[in-house]
Structure 1
């Protein structure tokens, strides 16, 4: 073999190795670029989903802060969605039973909220139909014309019941007017709604156990106004209390006792 061939063999091998390295580097760069592109697509998708989530979250919060009619409609639509999901998941034999149970619990909670909202709407309807002495006075009419900018119903706490009844009163009367008297139930089913009972535990029990299950409690001098006692439909337990706020001010309080 000629000597020039032996001299060019190493050079040729060097050139081939360099070409292989360059080709490998190009392939590696293309692979890395492909991974970066895929990652960018995933990031864009995540951002799009997060924006959509935040948008619908804002929509939900806005609906929840509106009137009871809108809240009821939203709850009814969400219940329909849960019903459709439950039907679809039941048809799928491989669906996880735990997830199905979670959806059913979620639906039951929504139905309970819808029931409470309808009760609150009924209370508002009764109040709207009430007219004092034939109709509102000038001051009331002016207030009705000035509608609040924002109306929301919020949960403000829970009240516990161990005697099957509740009482509405001003806390300052407890030390001044409350009576310590013997407990004795006197049945009087024909009593009048104008009957005034003593401002005491015995008086509250007699008020709620006679007639319509409610009654007025009087001051020490005998006139009404110290408090109002009424039965709870479900007896003892813990009951949620909701407040209706107009522009941040509480104008109504609603206790779901049944």
Structure 2
């Protein structure tokens, strides 16, 4: 009886080992299959990534900026060759003439690329794409003049100016300057009343020190509210412009830019195509 039990025990152990072995083999196969699938996914992702990189590279090479850069480099190279050939008295005159013609052609292509980079475009319904307007079909027009007394020009919607222009914001004329020699801060209206006044301890005016690079303005973070103070803060910023915000904090109320020479009259021009005004220019000097 004991022998029978031992036999059955050995048999059950063998079956258990067989089942365990089968499970292990199945697990290994599944693991290998998973790893293989992941490797395949990685390869597909890498392939797609390279494809998009190639597309991005091709697109970049079609941009006017890229074309301008390539043409400029070619022109520079050819002009250097022309100078070298000109200095060589025994040089090939035909080769020199050929290089000159090539430079002329490249400069013409550069002019076209530059135009495309700043050209007007319009949406064409028939072709369902943006079309570059030929320069010959653009009509240039003088639109008028803007008079300025705040050294800045505000671009905004007149309806917004009527409804949302804020008069509850007070202007704070805080102008800080750092003296680079010792890091001391000087404030307009406190340490000097005018930029032509001499700062006694420095022996020079703020304008003189600024010209020498010894007195530099400190940028103060301001809120560009849709108001006169906000507009002035924007135009007097380091960037010379700023987007004004509505009372709830979102942009789009307007853009205020600083003029180059302060107050005065500034001309405005437009570009017209098929009777419509597509683009305007404001001369800031």
TM-score tier (shorter): 0.3 to 0.5
Q: TM-score, normalised by structure 2?
A: 0.39
Q: Higher helix fraction: Structure 1 or Structure 2?
A: 1
